[in-house]
Amino acid sequence: MLRIIHRFLLLLDPETAHHCGLRLLQLRQWFLFKVQKKKMLLKMGSLHVVGLPRISFKNRLGLAAGFDKNAEVFASLASFGFGFVEIGTVTPKPQPGNPKPRLWRLPGGALRNQLGFNNLGVEAARRNLLRYRAHVWAVPIFANIGKGVNTPLEEALKDYESAALALTDVVDGFVVNLSSPNTPGLRSLQTETFLDALGKIIPKGFPALVKLAPDLEDEESRKLAAQIGESDHLAGLVLTNTSRALAESLDGAATGGVSGRPLFDRALQCVSLARENLKDKTLVGVGGVSCVAQAKAMRDAGADLVEIYTSFVYQGPRLVRELARALT
């Protein structure tokens, strides 16, 4: 049944498919809670990873940010076998994102998106988390937080602070997104000065990972990883976000970012480079992972946890248990 629905969704325009997918996942969520009263979502995992001692993961495979932007369907997603889920990107206020069309399928298992943080804002995410988390306490949830499109860069820190404060009691940790290519100027915050300032606004005792772009120069990523390796406040890195450079080279597009298979080699390189400099902080590897061999390669390169997005879209839920098992 799942396979048929998945094939049908792939026939639709990509954003319509995503929207229909979310509504079906909501229906599944209702069924899981009301009819099946799924106990497995309450059974704690027992896996601990370097740098995040207080969090018990179900397994090392997570869903990357951008799929469940408003925390509407994370329980349904967790039931496919994800060991943790990243919701968001959430911004302090609701925003519609960029005009459509803004999501395209590319050949070779890739996507290009320029969504621009379309989301219902932090209050809506908080309400959904409060409503559904009771059913899924056992699956760690990270909130990916971002800056509003109209917030000047000089005030970006306040956006991260208010989004984090609003969610501390409903998530297990944060991912601070400094790397979306679709919010003007955002990637210019990937600096040592901004990381330093970030460390001071994250609520005490709360793990915060920083998500960087694959298009940074190696030397720049090395410096930022080393700084996080030394930081008393930041817990690690998520590498990587989508690539603007690939959007240009693969699709001739000056906008958006590419995810999926073509991103894998660069994401793997970024993970190895960071591991050398990150010491005992947490490293989440994401970018183009589409099969067991690639998931294992991410682990071998030093990723403590691995996330997927685009391969989940193309291959559907059956991929989740296969990768989760291979990473165990």
Ligand X SMILES: Cc1cc2nc3c(=O)[nH]c(=O)nc-3n(C[C@H](O)[C@H](O)[C@H](O)COP(=O)(O)O)c2cc1C
- Footprint of ligand X on this chain (CB under 6 A)? 64-66, 69, 89, 103, 111, 113, 115, 117, 144, 177, 180, 211, 241-242, 259-260, 263, 286-289, 308-311
First to last CA, the chain: 27
- 22 with 75: CB under 8 angstroms? no
- Residue 180 appears among annotated catalytic residues: yes
Q: Give the separation between CA 31 and CA 103, rounded to whole angstroms.
A: 30
Q: How many CB atoms lie within 10 A of CB 179?
A: 26
DSSP line for 3-38: HHHHHHHTTS-HHHHHHHHHHHHHHHHHIIIIII--
Q: Which of 76, 79, 179, 180 is catalytic?
A: 180
Of residues 48 and 100, the one with the C-beta less far from ligand X: 100
Q: Give the separation between CA 282 and CA 67, rounded to whole angstroms.
A: 22
Of residues 224 and 263, the one with the C-beta less far from ligand X: 263
CA-wise closest residue to 87 among 174, 183, 18, 199: 174
Of residues 128 and 144, the one with the C-beta less far from ligand X: 144
Of residues 190 and 241, the one with the C-beta less far from ligand X: 241
- 290 with 48: CB under 8 angstroms? no
Task: State the nearest-atom distance from the C-beta of 39 to ligand X, in Å.
Answer: 29
DSSP line for 217-262: -HHHHHHHHHHHHH-SS--EEEE---BHHHHHHHH--SSSEEEEGG
Sign of CA dihedral 162, 90, 262, 290: positive
Query: Any idea which residue has 């591991």 for tokens?
Result: 275
Contacts of 4 (CB under 8 A, 6+ apart): none
Task: State the nearest-atom distance from the C-beta of 20 to ligand X, in Å.
Answer: 15
Closest residue to ligand X in the complex (CB): 66
Of residues 183 and 277, the one with the C-beta less far from ligand X: 183
Q: Give the separation between CA 289 and CA 295, rounded to whole angstroms.
A: 6
Report which secondary-structure segment, H or E, holds 211.
strand 208-212
Q: How many residues does the chain have?
A: 328
Task: State the nearest-atom distance from the C-beta of 241 to ligand X, in Å.
Answer: 5
Of residues 117 and 132, the one with the C-beta less far from ligand X: 117
Of residues 177 and 190, the one with the C-beta less far from ligand X: 177
Q: Give the separation between CA 71 and CA 90, rounded to whole angstroms.
A: 9
Task: State the nearest-atom distance from the C-beta of 137 to ligand X, in Å.
Answer: 24
**Catalytic center residues:** 180
